[in-house]
Amino acid sequence: MPSARLPLILAAVIGCVAGLLGGPAPSPPADLLVLEGPTVLDMTGAPPRPATSILIRDGRVADLYPTGSAPPPPGARVLELRGRHAIPGLIDSHVHLTSPTVESRRQDSLARFLLLGGVTAIRDMAGDGVVLRDRALAARAGSTPSPRIFFSTVVAGPEFFARDSRAPEIAHGGTLGRLPWMRGVSTEEDAVAAAAGAKEFGSTGIKAYAELSPELLRSVSREAHARGLKVWSHASVVPAKPSDAVAAGVDVLSHAHMLALESMESLPQTYSAALGLRAHDRPPTTSTLGRLFEEMRGRGTRLDATLFIARRLAQGRRAQEGDLSNLRGVDAWAIAAARLAHQAGVRFVAGTDVSGTPGQDERPTLHEELAIYVEEVGMTPAEALATATRNAAQMLGAQGDLGTIAPGTLADLLILEADPLADIRNTRRIACVIKGGFVHEVGGPDSREGLDWQPSWPGTQLALVRGTPSAKGPFVFRFRMPDGYWAHPHRHPVDARIRVLSGTYLAGFGAVLDPASAEAIPAGGEILFEAERIHSDGARGETVIEVSGEGPWGVTFLDPEKDPAAAKRPR
């Protein structure tokens, strides 16, 4: 998956790590982290807990107790968070990480943007299954700058994939509609094959997309549930209506604006034909949607309303001037329908469909989705937070790990500067993000507390963040280089990812040091150096990089005399 153009890696650092550690190190002790003193909103239904300490051990919450009632365990790192607010990490229930974003570097950028914006887990709703499976595995590590990924197998009528322009980009040369992450269904046997393939591939759920009859939708839902998979659906998978999806037993309906198709006498057979329907001219009412919402509440069917994208569709140029004029007013219709659903007791999960643009948006669009829930749908801030925490975790089948702060859950937390119950827009005021007990600072490169910077190669410093690079297992370290620094051509035995925290990182390629041809990676950029790729490293201005990978890591210089550690060796 990672290409040579993806996040770059450091270089000369392992020799310096070995020098710092004095050779191979023993396995590190259990990680202990204490979050001292925040007000904890644990999303279990309990009231906020002021001045509470959270003990994190090996990436999970071990205990919560009144601050000051017990000393931190020996060897624990302590973060002083008095005056801050701790909530579970947010879950975006409708993301497309790989489609249409097919470039690895852009996927990396989006994943990092989501995580640092408080989104610690995502439900990916159809994309490149091969890439998503690899990314989901890598994202299990707390240090990986990505949310945890739960991905789906998309299911539709057999002709849909032949017509859809996106399908070839994610097929990896396979037969469209006959892949474990992309399956056409026209018979009971197809439904069995789709569910079995999705389960074996590692998908969390099936996404019913389009062009399924009510009977086929029931078959897909039955076969998926029989294998422990979740079933997620467009609100209408024409020709099946929303009520057909609810009756089929799907777990979540996506897109509130698609609920308008419930009141139409008949639906077209193809997805493209449905896009042109004028279905939003009359506002939703309890007479048109009340029975549907009663069924959803009774069956526990959740609504992924995607109100932010409805607003974007309605306000877009194609809706205002072009060939999608039927979508004018779709946002007001969707919000009104969501308000009726909320009043009827339907549970929501917060999804966006368009997650935001790194470098353009300050925060992921999930924060705006939550604001719409409070300001226009009528939820309380606590109800809105539940849609992106507890409710979303239940939808993923991950309620034992995510969505609440309790002993045993993964330590995926969002630390806020202000109370989100006082103003839902305070979810944007992020102090730091914690994933699996690993602290991802939203601020500058040296804002992480407790780092022990040590001299390394001449003029440089190194600080271990997690793990031991020279030992087996995941590691993260930071490396500070002075202006004009260069490490001569060398290679590493394993892949490693570099994130530039400050300054400008210079990456040269090939067996000859040539600063003039080096690629400049500014702060915020990343790159991956693949195992054994020959490269050199430099810095323009004082530069700090963060290097992560799976050890054992090392460095071998093409010219041993250029090894900065050579001067330390006896001759």
Establish if 552 belongs to a structural domain: yes
In this structure, of 151-165, 319-333, 412-426, 495-509, the range with the lowest mean pLDDT score is: 319-333
CB 562 within 8 A of CB 488: yes
Whether residues 380 and 503 fall in one domain: no
Establish if 55 belongs to a structural domain: no
Residue pLDDT, tens place only, 95-137:
999 988 888 988 999 999 999 999 999 999 999 999 999 999 9
Residue pLDDT, tens place only, 396-415:
999 999 999 999 999 999 99
Whether residues 98 and 204 fall in one domain: yes
- pTM value surpassing 0.85: no
Domain boundary among 358, 380, 395: 395
pLDDT in the model for residue 435: 96
Domain boundary among 348, 365, 395: 395
Establish if 541 belongs to a structural domain: yes
Whether residues 472 and 545 fall in one domain: yes
Judged against a pLDDT cut of 60, whether residue 49 lies above it is answered with yes
pLDDT band for position 323 (cuts 50, 70, 90): low
Establish if 150 belongs to a structural domain: yes
Whether residues 353 and 460 fall in one domain: no
Higher confidence at residue 568 or residue 154? 154
Whether residues 276 and 388 fall in one domain: yes
Establish if 94 belongs to a structural domain: yes
Distance CA 36, CA 42 (A): 15
Give the CATH number of the domain where residue 555 resides.
2.60.120.10
3-state secondary structure of 49: strand
Establish if 529 belongs to a structural domain: yes
Tell me how many degrees the CA angle 95-211-302 measures, rounded to the nearest 5: 45
Give the CATH number of the domain where residue 173 resides.
3.20.20.140
Q: Which pair of tokens denotes residue 459?
A: 């003029």
Judged against a pLDDT cut of 60, whether residue 313 lies above it is answered with yes
Whether residues 96 and 176 fall in one domain: yes
Residue pLDDT, tens place only, 189-245:
999 999 999 999 999 999 999 999 999 999 999 999 999 999 999 999 999 999 999
Establish if 263 belongs to a structural domain: yes
Whether residues 297 and 371 fall in one domain: yes
Whether residues 381 and 522 fall in one domain: no
pLDDT in the model for residue 2: 32
Q: How many domains does the chain have?
A: 2
Whether residues 131 and 221 fall in one domain: yes
Whether residues 94 and 21 fall in one domain: no
Judged against a pLDDT cut of 80, whether residue 281 lies above it is answered with yes
Instruction: Please state the rounded mean pLDDT for residues 373-388.
Output: 98
The amino acid at residue 32 is: L
Whether residues 219 and 298 fall in one domain: yes
pLDDT in the model for residue 319: 53
Domain boundary among 353, 378, 395: 395
397: left (phi over 0), alpha (psi -120 to 50) or beta: left
Distance CA 283, CA 297 (A): 21
Q: Which pair of tokens denotes residue 206?
A: 């099936």
Establish if 135 belongs to a structural domain: yes
Radius of gyration of the chain (CA): 25
Distance CA 16, CA 7 (A): 21
| Structural domain boundaries enclosing 493 | 13-27+451-568
pLDDT in the model for residue 316: 67
pLDDT in the model for residue 25: 32
Range with top average pLDDT, 259-263, 339-343, 520-524: 339-343
Tell me how many degrees the CA angle 268-269-275 measures, rounded to the nearest 5: 55
Whether residues 491 and 384 fall in one domain: no
Contacts 24+ apart (CB under 8 A), 376-379: 376/307, 376/335, 376/339, 377/305, 377/307, 377/335, 377/338, 377/339, 377/342, 378/339, 378/342, 378/343, 379/342, 379/348
Distance CA 405, CA 117 (A): 19
